[in-house]
Structure 1
Amino acid sequence: MDLGLRGKSAIVCASSRGLGRGCAEALAEAGCNLVINGRDQAALEATRVHLAEQFQVNVTAVAADVSTPEGQAALLDVCPQPDILVNNNGGPPRKDYTELDRDALLGGVVQNFVTPIELIQAVTPGMKERGFGRIVNITSLSVKMPIEGLDLSSGARAGLTAFLAGVCRQLAPYGVTVNNLLPGKMDTDRLKGGFERTAQQAGISIEAVRESQAAEIPARRFGNSEEFGQTCAFLCSQYGGYITGQNILMDGGLYPAAF
C-alpha cells in the first residue's frame, strides 16, 4: 500500500530503540525523510545508518534530551517545518505514589505532558499553512487502566490526552490530525526490565515471569515495535486524514472494555 508519504519530513522523538524506532522504521519504509532522536549517541548513530541504508531516505540524528528547551531547539533547527511529529519520551521510573516528592512530580509532568505540547505548538503553524500535518503521541495503556507504580506517568499522559482532545478539533479544519497510540505490554527493553525486577522480588526466573504475563493477555503474546510502527505510519498516511482525536489501544485485548 502506498501511504502517500514519500518525500514527507518527520520528526520522531526518542527513536534510537523500542517503539520510537519502530515508528521511524515504518515511516522510512513509506519514504519519509527523518529526524531521529535519542540520548545514547552510539545507539542513535547505529539506527541512523541502518535506516538510511535500508530505505534510501535522508536521516538526521539529533542526540539530545527532548524534554529540555535546548533539545527541542536542536530538533527544530534541522527540521523546522515537519509534516509529521511523533511525540515519544521515556516516562518516570516506577515508584509508589508515596515516594514522589515535588521535584519528581514536576519532572514527570515535563516529560510526558509539557514536552509534547511544546513541540506541537512549534510545528502546527507550518502544518496549518501547508494544509497537511500528522501528530502521533505515544502514550500508554495506563491512561485507561491503572498500573501500579506508574501513577505519575499515567497522570501526565492522561492530562496530555485531555489537553489535546480540544486542540485536535481546532486543527482538523486545516488537514492536521492528532492521535494517540496506547501501547500495552510491548516486547521492549522497558518491559524486560520489569521482568527482571519482578523475578528478583518473587525469587523466580525471568522466563517464568514472561510466560505468566503473556498468559494474561488475550492474544497470548507481547506486541512488537514493527506492528506498532506500521500502525503509526498508517495514521500519518494519506488514508488517515479522517482519523483525529482518537486513542488507539495496542494491547492484545488486555484492557477489558466494550467501548
Structure 2
Amino acid sequence: MHLGIEGKKAIVCASSRGLGRGCAEALAEAGCEIVLNGRDEAVLAETKSAIETAYGVRVSTVAADVSTRDGQEALLEACPAPDILINNNGGPPRRDYSELDREAMLQGVIQNFVTPIELIQAVTPGMKERGFGRIVNITSLSVKMPIEGLDLSSGARAGLTAFLAGVSRQLAPHGITVNNLLPGKMDTDRLKGGFERTAKLAGKSVDAIRAEQAAEIPVRRFGNAAEFGQTCAFLCSTHAGYITGQNILMDGGLYPAAF
C-alpha cells in the first residue's frame, strides 16, 4: 500500500533496536526521513547504516536519553520540524510494587508519562502550522491487563493514555492524529528478560517458559518488530487521518475481550 508520506520527517524515540527500530524501518520504507535515537552509539550507527542501505532515505542519529531535557533538545535540534513523532522509551525494570521507593516511582513516571507529553508539547505547534501531524505512542498491553512486576510501567502508561485522550481531540481539527500502540508479548530483549526472571523463580528452563507463554497466545507465537512497525507506519499514513485517540492492541488475541 502506498502510504503517501514520502519526504515526511519522523523522530522515532528509542529506535536503535526492538520495536522502535521496527517503526523506523517501516517509516523509512514509506519514504520518510528518519531521526534515530538510542543510548548506544555503536548500535545506532549500525541501525543507521542498515536503514540507509535498505531504503535509500536520509537518516540521522541522536545518541541521548530521551527522558532528559538535553536529550529532547538534541532530538529537536536534529529535526526542528517533525511531521511524525513516535514516542517510545524503555520502561522501569520488573519489580514488585512493595520494592518501589519514591525515587524509582518518580523516574518511572518521567520515563513513560512526562517525557512523551513534553515531546508532544514541543512538536505540535509546528504540526498545527503545517496542518499535518502523526503521533504514535508505544505503550503496552499492561495498560489494559496486569502484568506481574510491571505495575509502575503500567500505571505511568495508563496515565499517559488518559492524559492524551482529551489532547487528541484538541489536536484533531489541525490535521494531527494521536494514537497508542499497545504491544503484547513481542519477541524483544525485554520479553527475554522476563523469561529469565520467570524461569529462575519457577525453577524451569528459559525454553520451557518461552514455550508455555507462546502457547497462551491464541496465534501461538510472539509478535515481531517488523509487523509492529508496519502497523505504526499505517497509523502515520495519509489513509489513517480519520483514526485518532485510539488504543490499538497488537497481542495476538491475548487480551480476552469483545471491546
TM over 0.5: yes
Tell me the matched-pair count.
259
1:137 counterpart = 2:146: no
> What residue number does 1:67 align with?
67
Which AA in structure 1 matches 2:149? Answer: G
Pairing 1:149-228 to 2, within 5 Å after superposition:
149-228=149-228
Among the aligned pairs, what percent are the same residue? 80
Note the residue ranges of structure 2 that are not aligned, 5 or more in a row. none
Distance in 1, matches of 2:17 and 2:181, equals: 17
> What residue number does 1:121 align with?
121
Distance in 1, matches of 2:27 and 2:184, equals: 21
Distance in 1, matches of 2:71 and 2:122, equals: 13
Which AA in structure 2 matches 1:27? Answer: L
Residues 155-164 or 199-208, more deviating: 199-208
Superposition deviation, residue 202 in structure 1 = 1.8
Distance in 2, matches of 1:98 and 1:198, equals: 18
What TM-score do you get using the length of structure 1 for normalisation? 0.99
Superposition deviation, residue 172 in structure 1 = 0.3
Distance in 2, matches of 1:53 and 1:226, equals: 17
1:7 counterpart = 2:15: no
SS at structure 2 position matched to 1:3:
coil
> What residue number does 2:84 align with?
84
SS at structure 1 position matched to 2:240:
coil
Superposition deviation, residue 201 in structure 1 = 2.0
Distance in 2, matches of 1:194 and 1:176, equals: 36
Pairwise CA RMSD of aligned residues? 0.6
Distance in 1, matches of 2:37 and 2:163, equals: 25
SS at structure 2 position matched to 1:81:
coil
Superposition deviation, residue 196 in structure 1 = 1.4
Please identify runs of 4+ aligned residues in structure 1 that moved more than 6 A.
Answer: none
Superposition deviation, residue 199 in structure 1 = 1.6
SS at structure 2 position matched to 1:245:
coil
SS at structure 2 position matched to 1:10:
strand
SS at structure 1 position matched to 2:182:
strand
Note the residue ranges of structure 1 that are not aligned, 5 or more in a row. none
Which AA in structure 2 matches 1:91? Answer: G
What TM-score do you get using the length of structure 2 for normalisation? 0.99
> What residue number does 1:40 align with?
40
